[in-house]
Amino acid sequence: MSVEIIKVPDTGGSDPVDVIEVSVKTGDSIVPEDTIVVLESDKATVEVPAPLGGKVGKLLVSVGDRVKEGDPLVEVETGDSQSDKPDAEKKGSGKVSSAESTSKDSAKDTAKKKSKDAAEQKPAAAKKSTGKSTSEEQIRVPDLGDISDAELIELLVKEGDELEAEQVLGVLESDKASLEIPAPKAGRVVSLTAKIGDKLSTGDVLMTISVSGESSADAEDESESNATSADAASEKQSTSPSSAEQSSPGQSQQPAAQKKADQGATLTKPSGPVHAGPAVRKLARELGADLGQITGTGPRARILKEDVHAHVKTLLTERPTAAAAAGVELPQIDFSKFGPTEQVELNKLRRVSAANLHRSWITVPHVTQFDEADITDLEAFRQAENARLAKMAKATGKDAGKLTMLAFLVKASAVALREFPNFNSSLALSGDALIYKQYINIGVAVDTPNGLVVPVIRDADQKGILAVAREMGELAEKARNRKLAPGDMQGGSFSISSLGGIGGTAFTPIVNWPEVAILGVSRTQKKPVWDGEAFQPRDMLPLSLSYDHRVIDGADAARFTSYLCEVLTDLRRALL
């Protein structure tokens, strides 16, 4: 038994880099190509692979440390008979590219035939990278599942444009959300086949691009790298009983969405760190996908681009399920018998909203609690603060923001939800348990020409009122321009629907399932209020709280609205 120290490879500069993830722990058995740590510089994220196999004896760094080339990372206990020990010492101080190449050589010793084939492909790729030839390739609509007519609502490139890999080409709208289509590789747009408004399905041609030989070589190298990583993972499975028990090779190559369909079970969030490279993280950000909700199918549960696309496809193809309720058959009426008529098809957003609202209405036993909040002092403060912000903006030439009453409502609701956690919960599908959420994400209904959407203010309790106002403005603008991503409308735990800018005295909002409550807000009215000696004119804000009576009792709802009114009357209560 001997102890080898894996060191930081060449990171491309002399400045220290951050350790953002430690992927192993003391006692773990590792094989070549396993990720040891993830380093992040100001330019990129680099996963450091293990140059040799063995058992982790001691971790020499932790998350948050700053390290540079040559610093020790991990002590690994190896057998004396290991043939790759001299190579390991060389790898410890080599460049990142050298470490990866040597690691592949080590994996080659245990999977000779596959690695030999991969090695034979390298000269061809190198030869191709030096060529000047170009080829034309068609970019097609990615797999959309059972969606046959997705509308192309945005086209972001034109003929002659130079493309970068992962650049967004256009936006498709399905029944549930919008999907951005990224460029699979760099190139130049030769011709556009589709135009805005076209109905597209899986495999339809979007455009033709011209790709240089160098880009083709890069794609071939990437394919080879993925194949080599898969070989290393397969070798690990063949030598590790625990890995073999967890998944078979056939399962490891399936996208997460296909596994879900085959197994008939919902994949859960990984309990360990998320393993994904910079390109995958960038793709996830652009598509609005939460990496924490994606199960990786690569080596050591690494998330691949295919996993991200499969996750987004699942979000696009999921249909709201009809509630188990006794249906009533309605008669078909020919309205044209009574006079001229015109039939206009609902857009996709309104169709989906209708299905969701119907599901909530027939499954949630609704009760609505009405109350009024005295916001006289709050409104005076809001107007004074907006005047101050306007002066500041005029003096500095920069937008200082603007406070809206809705921003105060979001903050006050967040305070009330902390006080009454039942309103920040969801009822388990079994009906036997409540799921209490440790986060407070508040959805705010936005009226758009295409229908109602509900973007979510995340961690509203941890943000200031001005920050909430700015974020609401940005989300509302994205909603009106149809730029909201699926992630912008997910994860809400409570909703607010405000009609104050339009009018009305009260209404009954429908609970946004799986939430258990929603706050409706109507227009502020000037009313005479008795102060003990005389009637005084006060600004009264009507509130309508609809709630799920299976979770919340009427007395709790009355306490919630009373507390919310007190916070709005005197916002200093929010500081307590």
Count CA atoms within 13 Å of residue 151 on its CB side: 11
Give yes or no for a contact between 465 and 382, defined as CB atoms under 8 angstroms apart. Answer: no
Question: DSSP secondary-structure letter at 361?
Answer: H
Determine the distance from the C-alpha atom of residue 296 to the mean position of all C-alpha atoms in its chain, rounded to a whole number. 15
Question: Helix (H, G, I), strand (E, B), or coil: what is residue 350?
Answer: helix
Question: Helix (H, G, I), strand (E, B), or coil: what is residue 86?
Answer: helix
Question: DSSP secondary-structure letter at 10?
Answer: B
CA distance 557 to 549: 10
Choose among 285, 280, 309, 237: nearest CA to 47: 280
Which three-class secondary structure string do you get for 96-139? Answer: HHHHHHHHHHHHHHHCHHHHHHHHHHHHHHHHHHCCCCEEEEEE
CA distance 417 to 395: 38
Q: Are strands 54-59 and 72-78 parallel, antiparallel or unpaired?
A: antiparallel
Choose among 14, 104, 31: nearest CA to 68: 14
**Phi first, then psi: what are they for 451, rounded to 5°?**
135, -175
Cβ-proximal residues to 218 (8 Å cutoff; 6+ apart), any chain: 129, 185
Cβ-proximal residues to 282 (8 Å cutoff; 6+ apart), any chain: 166
Give yes or no for a contact between 67 and 8, defined as CB atoms under 8 angstroms apart. Answer: yes
The active-site residue out of 275, 309, 311, 549 is 549
Tokens 């507390």 correspond to: 563
How many residues belong to the chain? 576
CA distance 350 to 254: 34
Count CA atoms within 13 Å of residue 441 on its CB side: 18
CA distance 556 to 517: 12
CA distance 576 to 574: 6
**Cis amide linkage into residue 528, ω under 30° from 0:** no
Cβ-proximal residues to 10 (8 Å cutoff; 6+ apart), any chain: 69, 93, 94, 95, 96, 98
Task: Mark whether 549 is an active-site residue.
Answer: yes
Question: DSSP secondary-structure letter at 573?
Answer: G
Please list the active-site residues.
Answer: 549
